Amino acid sequence: MWSIKNKSIVFLFALTVSAVVHGQENEGDALSSGVKTVVIDPGHGGKDPGCHGSITNEKTVVLEIGLKLGEYIQKKYPDINVIYTRRDDQFVELDERAMIANRNNADVFICIHANAAGSSAHGAESYVLGLHRTESQQKVAERENSIIHFEENSEEKYEDFDLSPDAIIARQLQLSVFLNHSINFASKIQDQFASIGRHDRGVKQAGFLVLYKTTMPSVLIETGFLTNKSEEQFLHDPANQIKMANAIFKAFQTFKSEIEGVNHLVENGEGYEEELLRAEEGGNPYEEKAGKIYFKVQIETSREAIATTDSRFKDIQVSEYKEKGLYKYTTGIFEEDLDAANKYKREMRDKGFDHAFVVAFKNKERIPMAEALKVLKD
C-alpha cells in the first residue's frame, strides 16, 4: 500500500516545478481576499473511535471541541462559511474529509485530534505537512492515517498513494504558497494553548494523508494524550473542552487579522465566560446519562473492599460497584460503544488482568449483556 511507480514520481516533480514557479509568482494572492470559508474536521467518528483512555475516546472529545470552535467562529464572523466534516458520531472516509475542504474552496482547514503514547506523554502539539523528524512523530501520522483500514476498498483506493519522503517534499513544494500560512497558524495555536497552561509540544511536521490532500493552509491539532490519566481527565471535562476550543478560536482571530492586514481585537468566544462557569459548576463530567447504555471492563472481584488506589490496579483508574455481596471493580466507560470496550478489554488483558471482561450498565445499574445489545439494536 502507498507505493508509486518511479515514472509517477518524475511526473509529480514536473508538476511541482510548474507549481512552485506559479506559486512564487502569485504568492501574494494566497488568501488575498481574506478568510471566507473554514472547514473544521473533528477526527474519527462512527465505527472508528480513534484512540482512547479509560473514560473516553478520541472521536467524542474532538467532536465537542470542533463544534464549539465552529460556534465561536460563526458568532464572531457571521460572514464566514463554517463547514464541518462531521457534526455527529458518523464515520467519514479520510480522503473525503480533504475533498470536503477542496470542493468548498476552503481558505483554512482545521483538523482536530487527540493523541496516544506512553502514560507519561503529555501536552498539545500542532502539525503541518512535512517529513517527520522523530519516530514519535512518525507514529502519530501512522496512527491517524490508519483510519483507512475502516474504509471499504481501501487497498484499491490508496494503492498508488505515496507518502515517501520524495513525494512529501514534492507536495510541500507544490503547496509552498500555503505552507508558511499553515506554520504561522499552527504557531499561534500553540501560543494560545500555552497561555491556558497546556504543555507546549510545538509545531511539527509529518506525513498526514489528510493534510497531503488538502489544497489550502491546513493544520492538524493533537489536543493531548488520552493515554495519560490526568490528560484524559482534562480533555474529558466539558469546561476544558470549552477552553481548548476558545484557545484555537483566539489563534484563528489573530491569524485572520494578520492575513487581512487589519488590527482586530482578539476576544474570547461569545458567551465563553458564561459557558465555562456553567460547565465548571456542572460537577462530575463523568456522570452517566439516564437511559444510555455504558460498557465497562471488569478487572477484579473481591469479598472484601479494595481501595481504588491499591497497587494491584497498576495505576489504572477504577470504579467500584457492589453486587450479590461482592465488590467488583471496573475500568473504562464507553457510551454505547461495545467495539471500543472490547478493544480496551484486550488492553487490560495485555496488562496482566487475564480475566478482564466487558459488562453493561444502564441508569448506573448493571444489566445483562443481551439486554444491552437489544437496546442498542432497537
Q: Is the pLDDT of residue 10 over 50?
A: no
- Domain boundary residue among 256, 281, 306? 281
How many independent structural domains does the chain possess? Answer: 2
**Residue 86: which residues within 8 A CB-CB, separation 6 or more?**
41, 42, 45, 63, 92
- What's residue 238's pLDDT? 93
One domain, residues 41 and 76 = yes
Residue % of the chain over a pLDDT of 90: 54
The secondary element (H helix, E strand) that includes residue 201 is strand 200-206
Pairing status of strand 293-302 against strand 357-362 = antiparallel
Residue 130 domain flag: yes
Q: Is the pLDDT of residue 69 over 90?
A: yes
* Mean pLDDT in residue range 248-252: 98
- Domain boundary residue among 257, 281, 305? 281
42 three-state secondary structure = strand
Q: Calculate the CA 198 to chain-centre distance.
A: 16
The pTM is what?
A: 0.76
- In a 13 Å sphere around the CA of 315, the CA atoms on its Cβ side amount to 6
* Mean pLDDT in residue range 216-237: 94
- What's residue 241's pLDDT? 96
Radius of gyration of the chain (CA): 22
**Rounded distance between C-alpha atoms, residue 116 and residue 52, angstroms:** 8
One domain, residues 167 and 261 = yes
One domain, residues 84 and 232 = yes
One domain, residues 304 and 342 = yes
Question: In the block, which residue shows the cell 491556558?
Answer: 196
Specify the range with the lowest mean pLDDT, choosing from 164-178, 247-261, 305-319.
164-178
The dihedral built from the CA positions of residue 190, 194, 195 and 196, taken in this order, carries a sign that is positive
236 three-state secondary structure = helix
- What's residue 81's pLDDT? 97
Q: Is the pLDDT of residue 25 over 80?
A: no
Residue % of the chain over a pLDDT of 70: 82
**Residue 27: which residues within 8 A CB-CB, separation 6 or more?**
177
One domain, residues 262 and 350 = no
pLDDT band at 154 (very low <50, low <70, confident <90, very high): low
Cβ-based burial of 258 (10 A; exposed 0-12, middle 13-18, buried ≥19): middle
**Rounded distance between C-alpha atoms, residue 232 and residue 27, angstroms:** 41
One domain, residues 216 and 244 = yes
Quote the cell numbers at residue 279.
460547565
The secondary element (H helix, E strand) that includes residue 296 is strand 293-302
Specify the range with the lowest mean pLDDT, choosing from 44-53, 58-67, 73-82.
44-53
Residue ranges making up the domain that contains 57: 6-281
* Mean pLDDT in residue range 201-219: 90
Categorise residue 16: left if φ over 0, alpha if ψ from -120 to 50, beta otherwise.
alpha
One domain, residues 193 and 264 = yes
Cβ-based burial of 289 (10 A; exposed 0-12, middle 13-18, buried ≥19): exposed
Bigger pLDDT: 27 or 294?
Answer: 294
Max mean pLDDT range (94-98, 103-107, 276-280, 306-310):
103-107
Q: Is the pLDDT of residue 83 over 50?
A: yes
* Mean pLDDT in residue range 243-268: 93
Residue 286 domain flag: no
The CATH number of whichever domain residue 315 belongs to comes to 3.30.70.1070
One domain, residues 119 and 253 = yes
Specify the range with the lowest mean pLDDT, choosing from 7-21, 64-78, 275-289, 303-317.
7-21
Residue 1 domain flag: no
Specify the range with the lowest mean pLDDT, choosing from 51-55, 171-175, 253-257, 351-355.
171-175
Q: What does pLDDT average to over the chain?
A: 85
One domain, residues 59 and 149 = yes
Residue 299 domain flag: yes
pLDDT digits (tens, 9 = 90+) for 326-345: 999 999 888 888 888 898 89
The dihedral built from the CA positions of residue 272, 277, 278 and 279, taken in this order, carries a sign that is positive
**Rounded distance between C-alpha atoms, residue 358 and residue 352, angstroms:** 16
pLDDT digits (tens, 9 = 90+) for 120-151: 999 999 999 876 666 766 676 677 766 666 77
